[in-house]
């Protein structure tokens, strides 16, 4: 489940990535694109790449899986892009 309550069943991501590179939008609003997914990996529960804590500070649930996404954002091209980058940094996203 993401922050908006969307639930992703195992295998959903692989199926979507096989069809096309999913877009990245601001606040799930498809009229506000800010980038696209370069690669994605579904992480099973217990994977060492999962965080110890959620951005809120609450421990990561033991039974929860996750997604490891590498994104390409359109930095600085629109106010929405700047807001997306700010939100990702605030929530602990790493830039490579």
When divided into structural domains, the chain yields a total of 1
31-37 — which CB contacts under 8 Å span 24+ positions?
32/80, 33/74, 33/80, 34/73, 34/74, 34/78, 34/80, 34/81, 34/84, 35/71, 35/72, 35/73, 35/74, 35/81, 35/84, 36/71, 36/72, 37/69, 37/70, 37/71
> Could you tell me if residue 3 is inside a domain?
no
Answer yes or no: is pLDDT of 96 > 60. Answer: no
Q: Which residue in the block uniquely carries the two structure tokens 């033991």?
A: 62
> Could you tell me if residue 1 is inside a domain?
no
Residue with the bigger pLDDT between 38 and 89: it is 38
Distance, CA of 79 to CA of 29 (rounded, Å):
14
Q: Which residue range is the domain that position 51 belongs to?
A: 12-90
> Could you tell me if residue 70 is inside a domain?
yes
For the segment 42-94, what is each residue's pLDDT rounded down to a tens digit?
888 899 999 898 878 899 888 888 888 888 888 766 788 888 888 877 766 65
> Could you tell me if residue 28 is inside a domain?
yes
For the segment 47-57, what is each residue's pLDDT rounded down to a tens digit?
999 989 887 88
> Could you tell me if residue 66 is inside a domain?
yes
Which pLDDT value is given to residue 6?
Answer: 66
Q: What is the pTM of this model?
A: 0.66
Distance, CA of 26 to CA of 14 (rounded, Å):
22
Which pLDDT value is given to residue 2?
Answer: 55
> Could you tell me if residue 76 is inside a domain?
yes
């Amino acid at each position: 489940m993401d922050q908006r309550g969307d639930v992703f069943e195992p295998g959903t991501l692989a199926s979507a990535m096989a069809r096309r590179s999913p877009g990245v939008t601001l606040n799930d609003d498809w009229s506000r694109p800010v980038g696209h997914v370069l690669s994605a990996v579904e992480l099973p529960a217990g994977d060492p790449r999962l965080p110890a804590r959620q951005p809120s500070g609450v421990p990561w649930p033991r039974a929860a899986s996750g997604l490891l996404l590498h994104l390409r954002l359109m930095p600085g091209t629109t106010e929405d892009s700047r807001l997306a980058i700010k939100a990702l940094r605030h929530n602990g996203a790493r830039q490579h």
